[in-house]
Structure 1
Amino acid sequence: MITQSGPSPDGYDPRADRDLPPASGRGDPHRVPEHFPGVSHHEPIGLRRRLALNRMGTFDWDLDRGFMDLDPGALEVFDLRPDEYDGAPMSLVCRVPPEEGIRLDAALSQALQAGTSSYGAYFRVRCRDGTPRWTHSQGRILHDADGLPYRIIGIVREASGELADSALLHSLQKERQRQTVMVQQVTVALSRALSVADVTRVLTGIGGARRFGADGLLLGLTAGGRFEVIAVAGMGGDVPEEMLTSQLDDTLPLSEAAVSRRPSFLGSRGELLARYPRLRPYGEVLPTGSSSFLPLIAQDTVIGALGLFTTEPAVQSTEARNLALALAGVVAQSLQRATLFDQERELATGLQATMLPRRLPEICGGEVTVRYHPASVGRDIGGDWYDVIALPQGRTGLVVGDVQGHDTHAAAVMGQLRIALRAYAAEGHSPETVLVRASRFLAELDTERFATCTYVQADLKSGALQVARAGHLGPLVRDGARHVDWPEVRGGLPLGLADAFGHDHFPETQLFLEPGSTLLLCTDGLVEQPGRDISAGIDALSAAFGAGPEKLEELADRLSAHLWAEPGSEDDMALLLLHRPAGSGAATTPRLRLHVHQADPSGTAEVRSALRRTLDQWRAGEVTHDVEVAASELIANALTHTESGALVSVELLPDTPRRIRLEVEDRSSSWPRRRSPGETATSGRGLLLVEALADRWGAEPRGSGKALWCEFVVPEMPEASARVR
């Protein structure tokens, strides 16, 4: 309870009559109690009881402390028990609906900003049983010697009786329904706006001005002593450039509203031009009707101003003005939140950018470009990264990876992992060794995050690519004829998890980048979207990759703009493109090298799948099946008759006619023997099949074993058919 040593300057003494008991009859909001227990017919009735008999109560609001004292009569009006109210005005939200609270706040804010000594407003409360009750609040605003408000003394009373069956009630209800719809529409539309750009899209989009009951609007922000208009809708033409940015002064209505912190309401365009002569040269741009200029104040800070215009002249009612102020408050809160979001996002993306390479090294024999986009929604940053590393002997290391999570911790782990992986690669280690050491490094960071990664060691002079991946997407390759291939690249577990599960093995796959071909590496943010299978995203990427421009920079822009920027893209994205120009380097031989482990039952099937994809890229045609069968037989021979695995190599020899050479190498020095199996034998036909299918075959000794080889002549494709593919 608030106390005061004596009467206030306005003549009110809050000490009077504070200790009288509350009125009875709390259950029925419309029943007026006829008497109080224990009071005789002729006993004097105190002030509090007189008020309670008339469904009326008082409040004492200390603005400095934010404490509002309600007497028992006021608690009755709000249908509150004493233990349900703690003195904080926000405690009334259980009885005052949000739209009614906005109107009350607007009426009080207007009175405080105008410096008046009183205010009043009708509003509704929702009783304990859910029924609505019309209420009226009226307050006297007390000011100190400096003219600043410090206290409000007022009354609240039930108003259902005086408004019942009256034209005023019908009018108020209809107007409040309209205003409620407007408040709800504006609130819902702005609730989804995260950035300042989102807020301006809501205000200038379809139905933007109509949500405010206006035909046009202007929105501006204050910054550095200047006022800048950032959103325009419904004007009669383009707003002149010199009017979009101005000094903060009283020569323009929006600027004056921001400086004075007071709204202004004008009935017509003529009244507007008379008050602001500076607008006269641009009068044709402005609508002919009424206008409102409202300061946007959030947490006692002016952040801008909002101008609303109508096509019809009108004198705005108190209710309409209060609604406009309430809507301006919603816009101010949204803009403040959006400004904070933009600042946080700028900081987050700046942090992410500092952890990515500042520049790419010059590479010999090729061209490389990268793209990175932070997440399209939210303020979080991600762990996607790329890197291009100059390696010994003129080779180049290419990395694309993604650390689990979308926060600053993921970005910090990414920065450490990128530097460690770069160091291991620069030492000249093989791709498998680089990923093994990077996985061990991540496991020792004492973090619960894991990372996926693809690492490519490229020799652009020969076109050879050594690829290893850790739970990440493999590369895509587009050749000079725009044929896109997604080669099968064996991989291991994500970095960090590989050590935890004891499977730190990242097998390498050798690919070949022909002259005129382009290699693509990316993170899943480019191909994965909520509610869509990732294979659909990969198909879309392949189609866009194949149909994209020839120039590398334009291709990168096209892929990142048209795929990543699709609606629903929420993840961050890293993209890396490597192009080997046509005619670069000496003539080389396309080659595929794969290793099949002795104890890997699925190895042969994986080799056959990789062979099919590679031979399709080489346009091997009908000979593809023969190469697959021969490879299966030679691999089975190595795994069955030796104690080692098999190293499979396939080359496209540039002779005329073209030939495909298949080699399967093992570590056994035992020479193969041709057998003559009987009709019922279950083995011994492998070399017979190879001899029957291949044009040539043989065996060669190697330093640590031997290699069986065979060659197949590739039939020439008709020119028309080649163009179609």
Structure 2
Amino acid sequence: MVERAAGALSLPDDWPAGPEASLALTRMGSFDWDLASGLCHLDETALRVLGLGPDDYDGRRESLTARMPPAEAARLDAKVASVLKDGSEDYGVYFRFRHGDGALRWTHTQGHVQRDDTGRPLRIIGIVREATEELADSAARTEADAARRRQTGVVESTTAALAHARTVQDVIDVLRDVHGLEHFGAASLVMGLLEAGGRIHLVAEGPQEAYIPGTRYTHVDDAYPMSEVVRTLAPLFIESREDFAASYPILWPHLDTLDIKAAAYLPLIAQARPIGALGLLYSDRTGFSAEERDVLVALGSSIAQSVQRAVLYDQEHDLAEGLQQAMLPRRIPEVPGAQIAVRYRSARMGRDIGGDWYDIIPLPGGRVGAVIGDVQGHDTDAAAVMGQLRIVLRAYAAEGHTPATVMARASVFLHELDTDRFATCMYAEADLSTGVVQVVRAGHVDPLLRDTDGSCRRIPVEGGLPLGLSAEFGRLEYPVSTVELDPGQTLLLYTDGLVEQPGFDLDHGMQQLTSLVRGGPRDLQRLADRLCEVVDERGGDDDVAILLLRRQGAVTPQTGGRLQQHVAQSDPEALVSARHMVRSAVRAWGAGRRTDEIELAADELITNALLHTDGGAIVTARVLSGEVRRLRVEVEDRSSALPRRRDAGESGVSGRGLLLVDRLADTWGVESRGTGKCVWCEFRVGDRPGADRPGADRPGADRADDG
């Protein structure tokens, strides 16, 4: 077929070309290496490939390897030896060969091993060819591939970093990071967010010297590159200083001093609408390849999604924070005789809103109520429940209920709400004239007490179930613990976010907090700030509320002091607490030598109520102001049976209580109180001589002989 076609056409005499001509034209030379003699023949083309003249080569292979770097000659010899040994027929190797002008050039050799019938190698024949340009092209492709991988890596790493950014400021921090700018290859960046009315707010510029005065707020219709990309929704690539100066003459004079040579402005588009623009400014390049443009557009898309998510988060956070602040007290009232500091810190993870709250409730008689609490959950529902619970606690306390009753009623209220939330809480009612603090705890963490010398200790407080749960399970008993707060001492109430840390138990957190308070500033506001700084540094997924109450000194209000304690019939600890309350009040109110008498009389009235009635008792101690100061102790119970004074006899074990009260008190009596009664006694605690003696100037008309 080939011969017939050749006869029909006029072809050159040397057609088809022989293999020697083809090899020569493609700069491939041949060699024939006789292994027995060691001689290696190179044809004319092979000599040219190696940069050798006819007189430069003596036919010995050692003369060739002498022109190769020793390491590459050894590598070539090892390759050939391996092929001869393992029975292979072919091999190929790249190596560098020194030409006559002294330059090293890359060469590639490919050989075929011929063997006898026994497999013994006889000769190697093959080709050598120029490979410098081939490897240069390969290196360029490798570098281009590496550059593409780096650019793709920039997008991937930036996207991964942005995945952890929750707020707009977090996004800015990721983009403005020095290493981030290095990855982008940019000298500085700017970012603007689109606001209502077409206004663009510049929210980021970096480094600091990149800011241009007058560009903090611009409009989409202005002659700025950022305005243009927001207006057109298309990326803008400025490839030279001349291009920048001609296109944006208003902006360029400011950038000229920053050594900016090129820029890429990317629209930030989310859900098919513009939300802003990002500008990357370069000082060491001109022009952008097609691949670089594609990478930057992909980067802008990733950044836009993060910015939109962050904007929505910031809006939700602002709403939640506004709700949280609305639910907390707008201001803390001035309380005579006390210093107060309160703080609230939202969580640094999660929804940034929770149910933590504090409150200060001024009460009659120089008393003050301090509340700290935490509603379960971290969302707007928790904040809403918190607000309602704070209001009812304040109302119950203002109505004059005892701390235990305040807590029990609040628990019933929360249980009856249409919610599945519960709350921990602590309520402390302090009489600043006596320093006596009655504390009730509902599943909350114990308070701390800081002394005047800076020492700090945990105050174990017996408690009940959290609010809501105690009502659900019918366990509304809340024991009342009494703490004496001396002038200068500070009571610290807080929520568990201050002491709970991942990986550590509560005791560890309490120890750390105790140590922190012990070494903290003396000033109350500075101490509160220091606690918040620790919370900010640590971060976490729970919000924190803090209330510090320091007693400044003994303050006696004009209406007199008042303390009240509920004593359950089967609660010996409450009885001890009531005795402690009376003792603290007597000492603080200056009863002088009558202290023991008042304590004994009060103890008799309390014991009598617990022994002879079916329920508990409410003990109240108060100062009655007037011409002569008097201290009054009241014991109220739910029994309508009136007490009777009688002679116990020599062998009687009871009946002496009212006789003792009659002998010790200046006056005593009984009053009906609805379904129950109140037995009371009074003692003069004035300063005039004889006023504190038993029986001095007792008005007999005020005494109740029976009932």
- Normalising by structure 1, we get a TM-score of 0.58
Distance 1:367 1:581 in 2: 7
Q: d(CA) in 2 for partners of 1:487 and 1:512? A: 11
| Ranges in structure 1 where 5+ consecutive residues have no aligned partner | 1-164, 615-637, 650-664, 674-699, 706-725
Q: How do 1:577-596 residues align onto structure 2 when only pairs under 5 Å count? A: 577-582=548-553, 584-585=555-556
Do structure 1's residue 571 and structure 2's residue 526 form an aligned pair? no
Distance (Å, rounded) in 2 between the aligned partners of 1:391 and 1:594: 18
Aligned to 2:151: 179
Q: Deviations over 1:293-348 (max 9, x none)?
A: 11111122212111112332232111101111110111111111100110011111
Counterpart Cα distance in 1 of 2:545 and 2:323: 16
Equivalent residues of 2:267, 2:274 under 8 A apart: yes
Q: Does 1:519 align with 2:464?
A: no
Q: 1:559 to 1:597 in 2, by over 3 A?
A: farther
222 and 363 in structure 1: CA distance in 2 versus 1, 3 angstrom threshold: same
**Preserved CA contact (<8 Å) 1:269 1:286:** no
1:409 corresponds, among 381, 385, 388, to: 381
Task: Tell me, yes or no, if structure 1 residue 485 matches structure 2 residue 494.
Answer: no
Of the two, which has the highest radius of gyration? 2
Alignment partners' CA distance in 2, 1:444 and 1:564: 34
Deviation sequence 1:17-54 (CA, Å, 0-9, x none): xxxxxxxxxxxxxxxxxxxxxxxxxxxxxxxxxxxxxx
Q: Deviations over 1:650-693 (max 9, x none)?
A: xxxxxxxxxxxxxxx9x9x999x9xxxxxxxxxxxxxxxxxxxx
Q: Are 2:520 and 1:548 aligned?
A: yes
Quote the offset at 1:203 in angstroms: 0.8
> What code does the residue aligned with 2:531 have?
L
Deviation per CA, 1:251-305: give whole Å up to 9, x if none: 3222222223222212233432332222343235534433211111112221211
Partner of 1:204: 176
C-alpha deviation, 1:479, in angstroms: 2.5
What is the 5 A alignment of 1:708-723?
none
Which residue number in structure 2 is paired with residue 240 of structure 1? 212
Aligned residue number for residue 311 of structure 1: 283
Cα distance in 2 for partners of 1:407, 1:286 equals 47
Deviation at 1:173, TM superposition (A): 3.9
C-alpha contact (below 8 Å) 1:250/1:259 kept by paired residues: no
Deviates more, 1:216-225 or 1:511-520: 216-225
Q: In the alignment, which residue of structure 1 is the partner of 2:312?
A: 340
Q: Output the CA distance in 1 between the equivalents of 2:519 and 2:139.
A: 69
* Residue identity in the other structure for 2:363: L
Q: Which residue of 2 aligns with 1:264?
A: 236
Answer whether contact 1:467 1:489 (CA < 8 A) is retained: yes
The 3-state SS of whatever aligns with 2:250 is helix
Q: Distance in 1 between matches of 2:171 and 2:361?
A: 42
Worse-matched range after superposition: 415-424 or 220-229: 220-229
Aligned counterparts of 1:318 and 1:292: Cα–Cα separation in 2:
13
585 and 486 in structure 1: CA distance in 2 versus 1, 3 angstrom threshold: farther
Q: State the 1:190 CA deviation.
A: 0.4
> Which structure 1 residue ranges, 4+ long, deviate > 6 Å from structure 2?
165-169, 591-597, 642-647, 700-705
Whichever residue aligns with residue 373 of structure 1, its letter is: R
1:273 aligns with: 245
* CA distance, structure 1, for counterparts of residue 257 and residue 168 of structure 2: 25
Preserved CA contact (<8 Å) 2:402 2:566 = no
Moved more, 375-384 or 431-440: 375-384
Q: CA deviation at 1:188?
A: 0.3
Distance 2:300 2:435 in 1: 63
Q: Could you list the per-position Cα deviations for residues 399-427 of structure 1 after superposition, in whole angstroms to 9, with x for gaps in the alignment?
A: 11111111222222222222221111111
Q: Are the structure 2 counterparts of residues 172 and 406 from structure 1 closer, same or farther at C-alpha, using a change threshold of 3 Å? A: same
CA contact (8 A) 1:526 1:573 kept: yes
Does residue 226 (structure 1) correspond to residue 199 (structure 2)? The answer is yes
> Amino acid of the residue matched to residue 523 of structure 2?
K
Q: 1:544 to 1:168 in 2, by over 3 A?
A: closer
Equivalent-residue separation in structure 2 for 1:349 and 1:528 (angstroms): 22
| Of 185, 199, 216, the match for 1:213 | 185
Amino acid corresponding to residue 467 of structure 2 in structure 1: L
Q: Which residue of 2 aligns with 1:150?
A: none
Render the CA deviation track for 1:419-471: whole Å, top value 9, x for unaligned: 22111111111101111111112222243221111001111122111111111
Sequence identity, in percent? Answer: 46
1:503 and 1:346, CA in 2 relative to 1: closer, same or farther beyond 3 A?
same
Q: Cα–Cα, structure 1 residues 582 and 364, in superposed 2: closer, same or farther, change >3 Å?
A: closer
Matches within 5 A, 1:649-664: none
Q: C-alpha deviations, 1:616-668, integer Å up to 9, x for none?
A: xxxxxxxxxxxxxxxxxxxxxx9xxx999999x9xxxxxxxxxxxxxxx9x9x
Deviation of 1:579 after TM superposition, in Å, equals 2.0
Indicate if the aligned counterparts of 2:422 and 2:468 stay in contact, CA closer than 8 A. Answer: yes
**After the TM superposition, which of the residue ranges 443-452 and 193-202 deviates more from structure 2?**
443-452
List runs of 5+ in structure 2 lacking aligned partners. 1-136, 585-606, 620-634, 638-646, 652-662, 669-677, 680-707
Q: Distance in 2 between matches of 1:374 and 1:226?
A: 31
How far, CA to CA, are the matches of 1:567 and 1:204 in structure 2? 23
Give the Cα–Cα distance (whole angstroms) in 1 for the partners of residues 151 and 612 of structure 2. 85
Change (3 A) 1:568 1:597: farther
Aligned residues of 1:365 and 1:585 also touching (Cα < 8 A): no
Cα shift readout 1:368-410 (whole Å, capped 9, x = no counterpart): 2322222222225211111111222231111111111112222
Q: Is the 2:404–2:477 Cα contact (8 Å) retained in structure 1? A: yes
**Aligned mates of 2:294, 2:247 — CA distance in 1:** 22
Contact 2:239 2:286 (8 Å CA) reproduced: yes
Distance 1:301 1:437 in 2: 53
CA RMSD of aligned residues (A): 4.6
* Aligned CA distance change for structure 1 residues 598 and 420 (closer, same or farther; 3 Å): closer
* Cα contact 1:510–1:594 (8 A) shared by 2: no
Moved more, 491-500 or 217-226: 217-226
Mapped pair 1:396 → 2:365: no
In the alignment, is the contact (CA less than 8 A) between 1:186 and 1:211 conserved in 2? no
| Secondary structure of 1:193 counterpart | coil
Preserved contact between residue 527 and residue 563 of structure 1 (Cα < 8 Å): no
Return the offset for 1:250.
4.5
- 3-state SS of paired residue (2:214): helix
For 2:455 and 2:373, how far apart are their aligned partners in 1?
25
Cα pair distance change 1:245/1:408, threshold 3 Å: closer
Contact 1:511 1:593 in 2 (8 A): no
User: Is the 2:435–2:484 Cα contact (8 Å) retained in structure 1?
Assistant: yes
Q: What is the TM-score of this pair, normalised by structure 2?
A: 0.59
